[in-house]
Chain A
C-alpha cells in the first residue's frame, strides 16, 4: 500500500509524542522522579542499541534515509517507547489486582505495536528480514525489561534510604 503523503510521518510522531508525554505527566506515579528518570535512561539505552543492531549490523530492517523524517525515528526510539514503558510500570505498580496489571500490559503493548505498525506503513521503517511477529516479541521484551528495571531501581532506592 502506498502512502499518499510520506511526510505525514513526522507530524504524526510529534502528535503521538505530545499525547504520550501529557498522559505520563498527568499520571499518578508510583515511582519518584529519580527512579522514573533512571528507568527512562535505561530503556532509551536498550531501544537505541536494539535499533542500531537491527538496522546497522544485522540489516534486518531499514530506517528512513530521509533526513527530514529522521527526527520521527528519534522521537519514537528515545521518547515514545521509553515513556510508554514508564506509563506501564507506574500503572502496573499502582494496580492491586492481577487483572488490572494484565490489562495495562495489553493496552501498552497494543500502543507499542500499533505505533510501530503505523510508522512502518508511513515508510519510517521497512522490514527486510524482520516481521511483525518478531517486532511484537521485541515489544514484549521492552515491557519485561521495564519491569525488571523498575524492580532493580526500587531495590537500589531502598538501599539508598538505609545509607
Chain B
C-alpha cells in the first residue's frame, strides 16, 4: 500500500532543487583540483552510494523509512540522489585542498558526519525523510562514517593509479 504524506510542492522539493543548482554552480566556479574524469568519479560516488543505501533500507523487506511525499519512487526522489553528488565531490575536494593527512582524517570524517547528520535533521523537519516506520536518525552516523571512509579509500586508489 502506498503511504502518502503530502501532495504539495513545498520545502522538501525546493530544498532539493536549490541545493542541486547552488552546489553545481559552486563546482563550476571553484578552482579546479581534479581532472574532469576524477571529478565525475567523486560526483557519481555520492549519487550511487546514497541510491544503494536508500534502495536497500527503504524498500521491502526492511522498509525502514520513506523519502519525499509518498512511499513510491518518484522523480523528486531521483533528484534527491543527484543532490548528493556535489556533497561527495566537495568532501574530497576539501580533503585534497586542505591536505588532510594521518589522524586529521578521523576529525575530518567526524566533522562531515556531524554536518551530514545536521542536514538529515533538517531533511526530516522539512518532510524530505519520513521516519515513521521505525528508522532512528542516529543509525545514520555509522553509515556516514562508512561511506566517507570508503570515499577516502577510493580517492587514494585513484591517486595511486594516477601515478
| Residue B161 lies at the interface, judged by CB distance under 8 Å to chain A | yes
> Which residues does chain A contribute within 8 Å of B3, judged by CB atoms?
none
Contact B51 A37 (CB under 8 A): no
Q: Which of B3-47 contact A (CB under 8 A)?
A: 32, 35-38, 40-41, 44-45, 47
A35 at the interface (CB under 8 A from B): yes
Residues of A within 8 A of B47 (CB): 41, 45
Complex contacts, A159 vs chain B, CB 8 Å = 36-37
Which among A33, A35, A52, A157 is the interface contact of B59 at CB below 8 angstroms?
Answer: A52
Cα separation A91 to B35 with both chains bound (whole Å): 26
Chain A CB count within 10 A is highest, among B36, B72, B81, for B36
B-side interface size class? 20 to 34
Knowing A56-B59, A78-B52, A163-B35 are in contact, say whether A32-B41 is a contact too (CB < 8 A): no
Contacts of A32 in B (CB 8 A): 161
A117 within 8 A of B: no
In angstroms, Cα B60 to Cα A66, docked, is 9
A34 interface residue per 8 A CB criterion = yes
Closest to B52 in A: A78
Q: Which of A49, A67, A156 contacts B62 (CB 8 A)?
A: A67
Q: Bits for A35-59, please: 1 = Cβ < 8 Å to B, else 0.
A: 1011001101100110111011100
* Pair B161/A41 contact, Cβ less than 8 Å: no
Q: Mark A8-38, 1 if CB is under 8 A from B, else 0.
A: 0000000000000000000000001111011
Q: Which of B37, B55, B158 has the most CB of A within 10 A?
A: B37
Shortest C-beta distance, B26 to chain A (Å), equals 19
Judged by a CB distance under 8 angstroms, whether B122 is at the interface is no
| CB of B154 within 8 Å of the partner chain | yes
**Chain B residues closer than 8 Å to A33, beta-carbon distance:** 157-158, 161
CB B87 to nearest CB in A, in angstroms, measures: 15
B55 — which chain A residues lie within 8 A by C-beta?
A: 48, 51-52
Q: Give Cα A78 to B48, complex, Å.
A: 10
Contacts of A49 in B (CB 8 A): 51, 73, 78
- Does B161 contact A57, Cβ atoms closer than 8 Å? no
Query: Is there a chain B Cβ closer than 8 Å to A115's Cβ?
Result: no
Contacts of A42 in B (CB 8 A): 44, 48
Residue A70 lies at the interface, judged by CB distance under 8 Å to chain B: yes
Across-interface contacts of B41 in A (CB, < 8 A): 34, 37-38, 41
Interface residue A64 (Cβ < 8 Å from any Cβ of B): yes
Q: Is residue B61 within 8 Å, beta carbon to beta carbon, of the partner chain?
A: yes
The interface residues of chain A lying within 8 Å CB-to-CB of B45 are 41
Name 7 A/B residue pairs within 8 A (Cβ), A-sorted: A34-B41, A37-B41, A38-B37, A53-B73, A56-B73, A163-B32, A163-B36
Minimum-distance CB pairs A-B, first 10? A160-B35, A41-B48, A160-B37, A160-B36, A33-B161, A41-B44, A67-B61, A65-B61, A48-B55, A52-B73
